[in-house]
């Protein structure tokens, strides 16, 4: 059964009001500001029905009403009016998108900070992936007689390096051969395919540099493993304490430690992802829709960006359940659209 137009307008007015003031909303206020030309009594009746339908909640009997998770859900799906971002916000985002950063990690950090500033909420950015990530290329070179640098490039373009200590000073040619062995044995392999026996076989071809092969191959494994997990960057953590719903240190602490432990964010992303999320689309995950307890009074607005075929990332904005979804969505949408275009245009070749 769908709601009457008047109920919808009342619900929207209540949520708008509550988002702004964080205080239970009474019938009088809606009558005065709701532009509905009905009396508070009528609104009261409607409100009581909206409560029965599960869209509103009453903290206690003599207080106003507060939106429920279902109420917010309806709000973000159908009621709220999409907001335009302001010129200055657009400029800030464009400036960030236009700057010459090219490495993914830096971009993500920078953008997380920017979005957090613009919206005044906490943000996270996360790179996730398909587990089919492989090593695309190895490179090894000497920086000191007994110290080599190994560089690993993954199929989705991630770059990691590691210093490797050597037992003796090898010649340039030996390094060249070792690099070739690495590339022969371990490129185009997933984490599961890099077995111990494969490492042993490769090492046996490398003569004196066997230990180098082992070290680098294990390092490659680590890199793939880390990539599988994904990196998480947080920004604006302290803003959590701005919201009245997190004045209670216990609650704030709970959310904070949930967010700072990257496992939680990764899990959340996975749970809300398995299905049909299109890159560039904005999504909401509100209150009890989140499975993890620390998020049950929080709201998350998130969207994805796409890094070629293997790597997908999430940018999320975390606030109280009563967050300004319209404003946040506008910012995130503008940003993600630009970001995805940027990635497509200039970051990846394929």
Partner DNA sequence: GATTAGCACTCGGGGGACGAGAGTGCTAAA
Partner DNA sequence: TTTAGCACTCTCGTCCCCCGAGTGCTAATC
What residue ranges bind its own copies (CB under 8 A)? 102-103, 136-137, 139, 141, 143-144, 146-147, 149, 151, 153, 157, 159, 161-165, 237-238, 241-242, 246-247, 249-250, 252-253, 256-257, 260, 346, 349
- Residue 289's binding partner, choosing from DNA, its own copies, none, with beta-carbon cut-off 5 to 8 A by kind? none
Instruction: Name the H helices within the chain.
Output: 5-21, 27-33, 40-52, 69-74, 87-98, 104-119, 172-186, 196-204, 210-229, 249-260, 262-271, 325-342
60 scored as a contact of DNA (CB under 7 A):
yes
Nearer to its own copies, 38 or 149 (CB): 149
- Which residues in 146-205 contact DNA (CB under 7 A)? none
Report residue 284 CA to chain centroid gap.
12
Residue from the set 20, 33, 54, 63 that interacts with DNA by CB under 7 A: 63
CB of 39 to DNA, least distance (A): 4
Q: Please, are residues 314 and 125 in contact by the beta-carbon 8 Å criterion? A: yes
Residue from the set 11, 24, 316, 327 that interacts with DNA by CB under 7 A: 24
Q: Please, are residues 25 and 65 in contact by the beta-carbon 8 Å criterion? A: yes
Binding part of the chain for DNA, among 41-49, 195-203, 236-244, 316-324 by CB under 7 A, reads 41-49
CB of 99 to its own copies, least distance (A): 12
287 scored as a contact of DNA (CB under 7 A):
no
- State the Cα–Cα distance between residues 31 and 146, nearest whole angstrom: 79
CB of 31 to DNA, least distance (A): 8
Nearer to DNA, 5 or 275 (CB): 5
- State the Cα–Cα distance between residues 221 and 217, nearest whole angstrom: 6
65 scored as a contact of DNA (CB under 7 A):
yes
Residue 143, H or E segment: strand 135-144
- State the Cα–Cα distance between residues 322 and 242, nearest whole angstrom: 13
Annotate 112-135 with DSSP letters as a single string. HHHHHHHHSSEEEEEEEE-TT--E
Nearest to 282 by CA among 320, 250, 324, 315: 315
Pairing between β-strand 232-235 and β-strand 66-67 as defined by DSSP bridges: unpaired
34 scored as a contact of DNA (CB under 7 A):
no
Residue from the set 7, 8, 9, 51 that interacts with DNA by CB under 7 A: 51
Binding site for DNA (CB under 7 A): 24-29, 37-42, 44-45, 47-48, 51, 58, 60-65
């Amino acid at each position: 059964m769908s709601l009457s137009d008047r109920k919808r307008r009342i619900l929207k007015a209540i949520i708008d009001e509550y988002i702004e003031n964080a205080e239970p909303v009474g019938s009088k206020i809606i009558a005065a500001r709701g532009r509905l030309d009905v009396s508070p009594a009528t609104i009261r009746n409607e409100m009581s029905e909206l409560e029965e339908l599960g869209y509103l909640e009453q903290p206690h009997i003599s207080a106003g009403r507060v939106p429920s998770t279902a109420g917010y859900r309806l709000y973000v799906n159908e009621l709220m009016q999409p907001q335009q971002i302001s010129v200055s916000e657009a400029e800030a985002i464009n400036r960030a998108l236009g700057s010459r950063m090219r490495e993914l990690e830096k971009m993500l950090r920078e953008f997380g900070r920017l979005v957090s500033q613009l919206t005044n909420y906490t943000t996270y950015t996360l790179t996730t992936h398909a587990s089919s990530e492989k090593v695309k290329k190895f490179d090894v070179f000497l920086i000191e007689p007994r110290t080599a640098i190994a560089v690993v490039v993954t199929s989705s373009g991630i770059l990691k390096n590691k210093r490797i200590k050597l037992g003796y000073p090898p010649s340039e040619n030996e390094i060249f051969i070792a690099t070739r062995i690495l590339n022969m044995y371990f490129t185009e392999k997933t984490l599961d395919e890099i077995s111990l026996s494969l490492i042993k076989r490769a090492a046996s071809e490398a003569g004196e540099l066997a230990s180098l092969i082992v070290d680098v191959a294990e390092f490659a494994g680590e890199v793939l493993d880390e990539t599988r997990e994904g990196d998480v960057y947080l920004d604006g953590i302290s803003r959590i304490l701005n919201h009245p719903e997190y004045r209670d240190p216990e609650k704030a602490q709970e959310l904070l430690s949930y967010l700072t432990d990257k496992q939680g964010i990764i899990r959340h992303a996975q749970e809300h992802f398995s299905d049909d999320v299109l890159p560039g689309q904005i999504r909401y995950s509100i209150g009890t829709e989140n499975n993890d307890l620390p998020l049950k009074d929080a709201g998350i607005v998130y969207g994805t960006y796409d890094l070629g075929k293997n790597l997908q990332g999430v940018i999320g904005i975390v606030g109280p359940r009563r967050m300004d979804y319209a404003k946040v969505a506008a910012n995130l949408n503008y940003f993600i659209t630009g970001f995805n275009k940027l990635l497509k245009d200039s970051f990846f070749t394929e």
